[in-house]
A and B are shown apart, each in its own frame.
Chain A
Amino acid sequence: MQDEQLKIGGRVFTSRLFTGTGKFAAKNWIPRMLAASGSEMITVALRRIDSGGSNENILDFIPKNVVLLPNTSGARTAEEAVRIARIAREAGCGNFIKIEVITDMKYLMPDNYETLRATEILAREGFIVLPYVLPDLTLAKKLEDAGAAAIMPLGAPIGTNRGLETKSLIAMLIENCQVPVVVDAGIGRPSHAAEAMEMGADAVLVNTAIATAEDPAMMGRAFSLAVEAGRLAYLARMGQESVTAQASSPLTGFLN
């Protein structure tokens, strides 16, 4: 079966694994991880970009063929997110923007209301907006109406590696959203990524689990394989799960 292409903001993505730039032991792991995983989109916090000085600039470690997804980490309000997005665009980071508005530094839960407001403004300004949200179908439909290019629901709180704790809520988004659904945050193992893809997620974004591995490049490859396996399983239409065992040679087969 031929897979349809994943398109976001007019760009076609062959890899359905998106990655991040935080938490690496050294920035030179980033290009190695990208090469090993085949990831074609990577997110970077604008507040971490240190340009103009003599210090290393993280952007120099991202190959040109990889789409840069600046994020608004640090923003506490829609207005701050909007300002960060504009600065990112002016700094030459392109049109893509991941909106991340977090006012809770304990669980790092996104503020869905501020995120919607920022999406409305930035989509009007021509940004390709990928909002990071708590999975809420009503909100997701409003984000679509506002012009979001994809919806990025969290699987579990950022950095927790706990997997798809919000699974049934994400399932509603996958079933009802017209734009791609990218599961972001909480994916701690390749098997979690595979699970999200089996459900029909269009892509996953993984940072902590890759960046904090002993070998981020190898872990990047592991995630890439898991994402591909999960996607294939989704396309191949997995069999129904059942609470009771289903024998391959049924006992009542003789009746037929």
Chain B
Amino acid sequence: MSVYSEIERYNGFDFQTFFDRVTPAQVEAALIKEKLSEKDFLALLSPAAAGYLEAMARKAHNLTRQYFGRTIQLFIPLYISNFCANECVYCGFHRANNISRKKLSLAEIEDEAKAIAATGMRHLLLLTGEAPGVTPMDYLEDAVRLLKKYFASVSIEIMPLDEGDYHRLRMAGVDGLTLYQETYDQGRYALVHKAGRKTDYRYRLEAPERGARAGFRMVNIGPLLGLGEVRSEVFFCGLHAKYLDDTFLQTEIALSLPRMNPAEGNYQPEFSADDQAFVQFMTALRCFLPRAGITVSTRESAAFRDNLIRLGATRFSAGSCTGVGGYGKRQETGTPQFEITDERSVEEVVRAIRDAGYQPVYKDWDAI
């Protein structure tokens, strides 16, 4: 039993026809429910629900305020290596891309850590490409131990690992795991992941639950919007989150809806979600999963993120640099994985959160 069997339940399900047949009455019925069924969730993702955005937004706002209060948890990403053995056609770190490759030494990581800590950030997300030969477990463990001296919480967004390796990183001080499935559509997945270990759809799909078993307190999942048909992608993401939430009572579940930005390699996504659709999807997820964290990164613009504060978002990255090195002054910045849109400093993001009537939370965790 794994999330794979949850996905399999929808083999052969005709999403297009289902979405097209949803009526306004079904949307309204879903909106007044406290506990939404999968069909209710689908109704809120359908074109028919686009006419109910304000009602969905209000419900999302109220649920989020109840369970999270008026707070936004802050974190900052740190890329320590852009070496990668995968060929993800949409990614700037793609192995065939002729970019300057860089892996930070421990001394360089410490410089970055000091520079980031000076901004007041206390929760850090550590990222690498997938190149186990370049960034082996020992290196990752050393990096985490070092970073724990500067940060209250360290999460990882790296290649999927076995439960044993996740456990090693947890023992080194990691408390959260972020891993995006990119696309839940197996056919599309095979098309865009052309080489490397990442070609294994199922190994990646089941990684979040291996992480939960290894004892991470928080697991953050999501699709990369643009690779597959967006409504069904968001649906499967919700289904995945629900499965994790039901199966691992000890684990906090969070999700993200990253939208594709131009990266090196000039991949043109076949699918897209405009701002209206994004708001519909995010608020639908909130209605389906009232307690799930919702993370919004600097892929989104400053103005758009500021508006999402009141619509269900609970976690923001801020002051982000998506190249390797770049926080400390001495390093040169490698090619970024993707272009960020919200380029504000931590201070500016904090001010915007306060202006929206919310409390920016720098720290809500201590590893004891």
Report A's interface with B, CB cutoff 8 A.
Answer: 22-27, 45-50, 53-55, 74-76, 80, 83-84, 87, 103-107, 159-161, 208, 211-212
Contacts and interface: CB of A to CB of B under 8 A. Distances in A.
B118 to A, nearest CB: 8
Given A46-B366, A53-B122, 14 more contacts: A26-B359, A53-B117, A53-B120, A55-B122, A83-B368, A87-B366, A103-B250, A104-B250, A106-B245, A107-B249, A161-B66, A211-B69, A211-B70, A212-B70
Interface in B349-368: 354, 357-359, 361-366, 368
B246 interface: yes
A34 to B, nearest CB: 17
Nearest to A107: B249
B250 A48 contact: no
Interface residues of B, number: 30
Contacts of A159: 66-67
Contacts of A106: 245-246, 249, 291
Interface in B304-361: 354, 357-359, 361
A87 B246 contact: no
A38 to B, nearest CB: 22
A215 to B, nearest CB: 12
B368 A87 contact: yes
B174 to A, nearest CB: 16
A84 to B, nearest CB: 5
B359 A25 contact: yes
A45 B71 CA distance: 15
A46 B365 CA distance: 8
A24 B152 CA distance: 21
Contacts of B245: 106
Nearest to A25: B70
Contacts of B70: 23-25, 211-212
Contact of A24 (B69, B249, B250, B365): B69
Contacts of B252: 105
A124 B181 CA distance: 49
Contacts of A48: 361, 363-364
A24 B68 CA distance: 9
B299 interface: no
B65 interface: yes
Of A84, A104, A106, most B-chain CB atoms within 10 Å: A106
Given A80-B368, A106-B245, A212 B65 contact: yes
A247 B288 CA distance: 49
A160 B252 CA distance: 17
Chief secondary structure at chain A's binding surface? loop
A107 B245 CA distance: 10
Contacts of A211: 69-70
Contacts of A53: 117, 120, 122, 362
A74 B368 contact: yes
A50 B362 contact: yes
Nearest to A79: B368
Of B65, B365, B366, most A-chain CB atoms within 10 Å: B366
Nearest to A80: B368
Nearest to A24: B359
B249 A47 contact: no
B366 A74 contact: yes
A-B pairs, 5 with minimum CB distance:
A23-B69, A25-B70, A104-B249, A50-B363, A47-B366
A55 B120 contact: yes
Contact of B122 (A27, A50, A84, A160): A50
Contacts of A74: 365-366, 368
A48 B366 CA distance: 8
A75 B66 contact: no
Nearest to B356: A25
Interface in B60-115: 65-71
Nearest to A82: B368
B251 interface: yes
